[in-house]
Amino acid sequence: MKQERMKSSALPPGQISRETFPRFGLSQYANRFPTSTDTIDIQVGGDLEEHVIKEAFHSLPRVKQTSDFHCVTTWSVQDLKWEGVRFSDFYESIIQKQNLKPNAHSFVIFKAQDGYKTGLMLEDLLQENVLLADTLNGQPVSIAHGAPLRLVVPSHYGYKNLKHIYRIEFHQKTQKVKQGILSFMDHPRARVAHEERAKGGPGWFFRYLYRPLIKSTVKEFEKALAEYESLKGS
Ligand SMILES: Nc1nc2c(c(=O)[nH]1)N[C@H]1C(S)=C(S)[C@@H](COP(=O)(O)O)O[C@H]1N2
Ligand SMILES: [Mo]
């Protein structure tokens, strides 16, 4: 009898495991790509002084983490091997040093080179398994998966795992972040374990709404990347 490969953890409600990790997202981002992937420069702003973090990022302790990835449309990929720095180390060692007073921030907005953005509670980002990752499965994070740096928040749906980070804003109060998707689709926390797929109704309902979109979206994103790479190569 063929032995099933043991995965490290059970899947959360409504998720289905797939073998390959696709390039994925909202249609409108399929043809958008990062403009600068050679260096990691992070603009910071919001309720603190604007500046750019360069060398300081590379002085943070490096960590490796194996975690699962869950897209809100119900596909999951298990056992991805990320490497990077803990968001909590980044926050405590770099951001809090310039901070006005302790506990001043409660909400964080991430902005990407392709125009995508998302907001998360600082409390959720300070969990141990939240990384700013620059390596996936032993290779620098590819264009497909978020070069040069992406957010890995395994307990939250894929749409909070922002790729191609260029800017991080720290705010004292929760902000509205217009993500370019219908607003009901953006749950403020989007925790996978609680099936917070969207704020406009029960999580299980959206399983059936989103699942039919997977196949065509994967195709669309694959095609756009292939076109981009052939243009770059020519
Ligand atoms: N910059 C950026 N980040 C993004 C997206 C995007 O389009 N642009 N899509 C989000 C969505 S909906 C998902 S499911 C994951 C997909 O990550 P992957 O392409 O590495 O599979 O990225 C998220 N982060
Ligand atoms: Mo997603």
Q: Which two tokens stand for residue 211?
A: 């699942």
Q: Is the pLDDT of residue 9 over 90?
A: no
Contact indicator for 74, 14 with CB cutoff of 8 Å:
yes
pLDDT single digits (tens) 188-227: 999 999 999 998 889 999 999 999 999 999 999 999 999 9
Q: Is the pLDDT of residue 64 over 70?
A: yes
pLDDT single digits (tens) 119-177: 999 999 999 999 999 999 999 999 999 999 999 999 999 999 999 999 999 999 999 88
Give this prediction's pTM: 0.94
Task: Please tell me the predicted confidence (pLDDT) of residue 2.
Answer: 42
* Mean pLDDT score of the chain: 92
What's the gap in Å between 71 CA and the centre of ligand 2? 4
Q: Is the pLDDT of residue 8 over 60?
A: no
Q: Which residues of 112-148 are buried (b: 16+ CB within 10 A; e: fewer)?
A: bbbebbbbbebebbeeeebbbbbbbeeeebebbbbbb
Lining residues, ligand 1, CB within 6 Å = 21-26, 29, 71, 112, 114, 116, 145-146, 158-159, 161-164
Task: Please tell me the predicted confidence (pLDDT) of residue 3.
Answer: 43
| Confidence tier at 1 by pLDDT (50, 70, 90) | very low
Task: Please tell me the predicted confidence (pLDDT) of residue 182.
Answer: 63
What's the gap in Å between 25 CA and the centre of ligand 1? 5
- Provide, rounded to the nearest whole percent, the portion of the chain with pLDDT above 70: 91
Task: Please tell me the predicted confidence (pLDDT) of residue 227.
Answer: 98
- Provide, rounded to the nearest whole percent, the portion of the chain with pLDDT above 90: 84
What's the gap in Å between 23 CA and the centre of ligand 1? 7
Question: Which range has the worst mean pLDDT, 45-49, 85-89, 134-138?
Answer: 45-49
List the residue whose alpha carbon is closest to atom 16 of ligand 1: 24
Task: Please count the CA atoms within 13 angstroms of the CA of 37 that sit on its side-chain side.
Answer: 18
Which range is most confident: 4-18, 36-50, 86-100?
Answer: 36-50
